[in-house]
Amino acid sequence: MSSAVTVRNLVKVYEGGVKALNGINLDVDQGSIFSLIGPNGAGKTTLMRILTTQFKPTSGEAYVFGLNVVKHGDQVRKLISYVPQEISVWTDVSGYENLLIYAKIYRLPSSERRKAVEEALENMGLTEFRNSLVNTYSGGMIRRLEIASALMTKPKILFLDEPTIGLDPSARKAIWEKLISFKKDYGVTVFFNTHYMDETEHYSDEVAIINRGAIVKSGTVKELEQSLGGEVIHLNLNTSSLKGLLKRVRELNGVREVVFNDSEIMVIVNDAETTLPSIMEAARVEEVAVKRVSMTKPSLDDVFLKYAGAKLESGGRVVEVKQLRGAIKRG
């Protein structure tokens, strides 16, 4: 299968010296749903904006369907659709008018235009609200309208930057169902950034974890989970002075890896049942009170914690986006 996106040694240093991308290498298969997941500031949006030809990388190369995004930007733009994280529709005209304007910008022939717009509205369940001004729409409806206008032009690849940020679970689910069915019908490749682990887990064929401007791990969800091997023990502790305990646990037999985050430790072990007692003993010796213990098969969260070294904490960002969306609606 040939690649929809190929990235080689991509580096982006912003004016002022902030290094957003630090040598990215990436391959995305055609027709797959690809998820780029990482903490805030990891470089997700920067990578997507380079792939969508909005600005140039400092060094390295990126290709979309074999076309260099810097040299052949014009041709790349004909193949792609892009939905930025922020609101990207005009809120002071109706949903129908938004799609009509986009249909014209993409030069859909006038004979097909009306049909394409109606179809896009229908697909995203917006027919009923076609003539309402967008500033009366809910956040989920605005997102659906944005995705409708992105899909209306039948792109070969769809770039979505945090497609469901700030939406409630049912709106998120609705959007994903539409995207999946569209992918089935038209074979579009979907490249999305997210920090919702569950979306990556449920909907993506391939995942890459990005941290501090570099891809730290990639593969299918299953591959990533299996890469940890064994089982995972989570310990919730009463303290965050863990040094002694960490050292002890690392030295135990059957322990593969120990990752900690605040007052929580994740221990990857060969066999949880045999190792747990020794871990508890170590905690007792170090006089660390254990609040809660759980044993699981590795999940994508654990993979993320291991490779990105942090949990996905995104509360602040979501609030910010919600506020922006609210402000826009108030206009």
Partner 1 sequence: MLDFLRHIFVMLELELRRVKHDRLELYTRVVQPILWITVFGPAMSGVRGIPTGGIPYTDYITPGVLIQSTTFTSIFFGLIMVWERETGILKRLYVTPTSRYATVIGRSLSAGVRAIAQALIIIPVALLIGVKFISNVLYLISAFLIIFFASGGFASLSILIASFVKTRERFMGIGGALTFPLFFVSNALYPVKMMPPILQRFATFNPLHYTVDAVRSLLITGEFSNLPIDVAAIIIFDVAVFSLATASFGKIIE
Residues of the shown chain interacting with partner 1 in the complex, contacts defined by CB under 8 A: 49, 52-55, 74, 77-78, 80, 82-90, 92-94, 97, 101-102, 104-107, 133, 324, 328
The token duo for 151 is: 């899909």
Using the minimum distance from each CB to partner 1, give the nearer residue, 108 or 269.
Answer: 108
The token duo for 67 is: 């076309």
* Residue 92 CB, nearest approach to partner 1 (Å): 5
* Residue 21 CB, nearest approach to partner 1 (Å): 15
* Residue 156 CB, nearest approach to partner 1 (Å): 13
| Residue whose token pair is 């990891």 | 42
Q: How far apart are CA 206 and CA 200, in angstroms?
A: 8
Using the minimum distance from each CB to partner 1, give the nearer residue, 74 or 287.
Answer: 74
Using the minimum distance from each CB to partner 1, give the nearer residue, 145 or 237.
Answer: 145
Q: How far apart are CA 250 and CA 247, in angstroms?
A: 5
CA distances from 88 to 97, 99, 148, 197 (A): 14, 12, 12, 24
Using the minimum distance from each CB to partner 1, give the nearer residue, 240 or 323.
Answer: 323
* Residue 208 CB, nearest approach to partner 1 (Å): 22
Yes or no: say if 162 and 143 are a contact pair by the CB < 8 Å rule. no
* Residue 177 CB, nearest approach to partner 1 (Å): 23
Using the minimum distance from each CB to partner 1, give the nearer residue, 193 or 218.
Answer: 193
Using the minimum distance from each CB to partner 1, give the nearer residue, 109 or 277.
Answer: 109
Q: Long-range contacts made by residues 255-264, C-beta under 8 angstroms, separation at least 24?
A: 255/279, 256/228, 256/229, 256/230, 257/228, 257/306, 259/305, 259/306, 259/309, 261/305, 261/310, 261/311, 263/236, 263/237, 263/238, 263/239, 264/234, 264/235, 264/236, 264/237
Q: How far apart are CA 71 and CA 61, in angstroms?
A: 10
Using the minimum distance from each CB to partner 1, give the nearer residue, 89 or 124.
Answer: 89
* Residue 212 CB, nearest approach to partner 1 (Å): 21
* Residue 82 CB, nearest approach to partner 1 (Å): 5
In sequence order, the β-bridge partners of residue 232 are: 268, 296
